[in-house]
Amino acid sequence: MEEKTKKSVPFAVTAVVTVVVTAVVAVAAWAAWLGWDQHRDVHPDGSVSGPYEVWQVAGLVLTLLVPVCWAAYRRRVTAAAFGTSAGLAVASAVDWSDDSSGLFVIGVGMVALGSLGAVFAVGALVTALTRSRR
């Protein structure tokens, strides 16, 4: 009897694919949820808010949960974290680069670090939940 050998894709290849997929999804999600809204809202009392509304940011976060949970289920949390963070950093840098004060760089850094931490937290949760089921 011959044993069927299971061909597996090398870990490095799947990690690179995960980084690329999550980065592309992050850029596309940013464009879909936040990229079109560029105007600040001026309220009757003179205060200014925006340009993003809470529902837009919530939509972005919920959209990004899908690829992050997929990657965490496949044990690619680090790749998902770096891909998502890089995608959001690039998207925010392009979106905010017209700021003449230069302070957009601080915002981009905060987006990158915040998304990195959030993806690691979600990844740890998904990994813990799926580990007990496997």
Residue 116 CA to residue 134 CA, distance in Å, equals 26
- Domains: count for the chain: 1
Stated as kind and residue range, the H or E segment containing 41 is: strand 41-42
Under-50 pLDDT residues of the chain: none
Distance, CA of 111 to CA of 117 (rounded, Å)? 10
Q: How many CB atoms lie within 10 A of CB 9?
A: 8
pLDDT of 114: 97
pLDDT at position 47, please?
Answer: 83
Residue 118: name the closest of 75, 84, 94, 87 by CA.
84
Report yes or no on 8 lying in a domain.
Answer: no
Q: Which helix (H) or strand (E) holds 42?
A: strand 41-42
Q: Is residue 29 part of a domain?
A: yes
Handedness of CA 122, 125, 128, 134 (dihedral sign): negative
The answer to whether position 70 is within a domain reads yes
Task: Give the residue numbers spanning the domain of 110.
Answer: 17-33+51-131
Q: So what's the pLDDT on residue 2?
A: 53
User: Residue 84's pLDDT is what?
Assistant: 97
- Domain-embedded: residue 10: no
Q: Is 26 inside any structural domain?
A: yes
Residue 115 placed within a domain = yes
Structural domain contains residue 71: yes
> Does residue 67 have a cis bond before it (omega within 30 degrees)?
no
What does the pLDDT read at residue 134? 59
Alpha-helical segments (H) within 11-103: 11-33, 54-73, 77-96
